[in-house]
Amino acid sequence: MIEGNFLIGFLTPFADSGISYGFGFVFFGTNLAAGIMVYFLLYETKSLALEQVDVMYSQKNLKPWHSSEWMPAGYIDRNKRVPETFERRCSPIGQSMGLQNMRKSREGSESPPPYLQA
């Protein structure tokens, strides 16, 4: 990275004196090539967690130019989850202590554990 910046700063005066305004076309060409490389080689990871990015990269049939349409399992889109998929559950140890799975009632409140019920 630093070497590239040094080379641009060092070689620009020589190239500019040799081809003058044509040096802009060189920059245009390199920027166009970089844009094409980004589109075809980098995956879209906006609004994805690190674990979801890992799952996405592990799928062999997913191409980078289709990655913006990819959705993780249990999601309606990249920002909305399917509520039934992400339900709070007690561990087996918690269940042996009398705790129960917290499930929301129709009113939206969670039912408390049995030892807290009066």
Q: Where are the domains of the chain?
A: 2-85
**pLDDT tens-digit readout, 80-105:** 877 666 666 666 766 666 665 555 54
In the numeric block, the tokens 């060189």 are attached to 26
d(CA 110, CA 101): 10
- 104 φ, ψ to 5°? -75, 140
Structure tokens at 33: 């090539």
H/E stretch holding 16 reads helix 2-19
d(CA 106, CA 40): 47
**pLDDT tens-digit readout, 9-23:** 888 888 888 888 888
Averaged pLDDT of the chain: 78
Contacts 24+ apart (CB under 8 A), 71-78: 72/48, 78/46, 78/47, 78/48
pTM of the model: 0.52
Identify any residues that bridge with 81 across adjacent strands, giving them in sequence order.
Answer: 75
